[in-house]
Amino acid sequence: MSARILVVDDVDANVRLLEAKLTADYYEVLTAHDGLTALELAAVERPDLILLDVMMPGMDGFEVCRRLKEASDTRHIPVVLVTALDGRQDRVTGLEAGADDFLTKPLDDVILMARVRSLTRLKTVMDELRQREESGRKLGLLDGGARLNGGGGRVLIVDDHERQAERIAAELRIEHRPVVEHDLDKALLTARGPVDLVIINAASRSFDGLRFAAQVRSTEQGRTVPILAVVDADDRPRMVKALEIGVNDLLPRPVDPQELAARVRTQVRRKRYTDFLRNRLDQSLEMAVTDPLTGLHNRRYMTSQAEALVARAARGGDAVSALLLDIDHFKSINDTFGHDVGDEVLVEFAVRLATNVRAIDLPCRYGGEEFVVIMPGASMTDAERVAERIRLHVSAAPFTVRDGRSIPVTISIGVAATLGEGDTPEALMKRADQALYEAKTTGRNRVVARAA
């Protein structure tokens, strides 16, 4: 998978070397030699990954990383800090600045490429979710979201080294909710639940930690759970394999408490953001087919469903009936009591409508005070019977609104059913509309069926 990578280093030879390696693997490479240029390029070009040198004059890599993560348009770009420094505090400083990883020079090409592939895969998923969220926002389906923190995470620790597991849990209890599990079956079950991060000892002796990670990834719920693998710093093959199977991050042994805290915080924050995006996507899809006032399906959804059902009926499938319902004299309700009360009447009517149709029927708000019920597999006789039940239930008791007033409400209903070959949704709805018009012009508060 190709991607666009921004390489930032004040030493031209280092830039050329990284550019050559990445280009050979078919990545598109952008370059910058100082922090300010890197910030400008990142904001304009939006690369999929930034390889950022730490030791640069003027603005060092830590500060560049911090600014990238503070800016709304670049905070989701993965950043790998590249440096000759190999001190614990430098690593922690980089991670706390928001870096996704910290690689030391001279770079191990295999580890580098594995990390690049892992982070660019993640960026692709994030971009798709963000793009869909943005589409929903442009349509007015979503509002803006706040930044999410990385504390209070539910962390599952899977480790057969009891003392190491307890040390990790003790450190995480400061700001998270860790659970240690030694039984693999129980751990796999827990990983399928509401977990923000799974920490696996990849060097476990009693079980294969990477195989367990692969098992987590193979489940539907586990595909989106971040995995942090604890590995021996010199076990290069295991590190590469971990990244290949979908482990999100690596934590070298012996475990440094501050580095552990920084890496866990990053992963929990990212999990919450991806959950936030997925939830917003589900919300936008739901809102796209739902009437916001009544909670019933909207006209768009009704139209798409009716097209498929009527087409099936026209090919010899089960008949489809349609009810077109209109609240009698609804304008006078608005004029007399106000639009707020009118909205309350619409909401209560939607409840009475939904509770009097069959489970397979599709009650929808057609627009204004008009509603539609699409009835798969229902004959004209069946539809008339349901329509009459709805009419009686609406007129039997007045609608009580919030201020305590009672408003008598009646409805008129037009009923139509498919005619077989050659019928269309438009023709079906036209017949139902003609029947509704007849019901309204002949006294209202009645059901009229139109066979053809």
d(CA 107, CA 125): 27
> With helix as H, strand as E and coil as C, how does 331-351 read?
HHHHHHHCHHHHHHHHHHHHH
Decide if 46 contacts 23 (C-beta within 8 A).
no
Question: Residues with catalytic annotation?
Answer: 369
Paired residues of 232 in beta bridges:
253
Angle at 12 between CA 9 and CA 15, to 5 degrees: 55
Reduced to 3 states (helix: H, G, I; strand: E, B; else coil), residue 452 is coil
Q: Are strands 79-83 and 49-53 parallel, antiparallel or unpaired?
A: parallel
Q: How many residues does the chain have?
A: 452
Question: What's the rounded Cα separation, in Å, for the pair 452 and 21?
Answer: 73
- Answer whether 4's CB lies under 8 Å from 45's CB: yes
Q: Which helix (H) or strand (E) holds 366?
A: strand 362-367
Task: Calculate ∠ Cα 140-144-148, nearest 5°.
Answer: 150
Residue 419 vs residues 64, 174, 209, 426, 439: alpha-carbon distances, Å: 69, 69, 63, 12, 21
Q: Is 242 helix (H, G, I), strand (E, B) or coil?
A: helix
- Tell me if 427 sits within 8 A of 435, measured CB to CB: no
Q: Within 13 Å, how many C-alpha atoms sit on residue 44's CB side?
A: 7
Where is 116: in which H helix or E strand? Answer: helix 109-138
| Amino acid at site 434 | Q
- Token duo for residue 38: 């890197």
For residue 106, is the peptide bond before it cis, meaning its omega torsion is within 30 degrees of 0? yes
**Pairwise CA distance, residues 446 & 429, whole Å:** 18
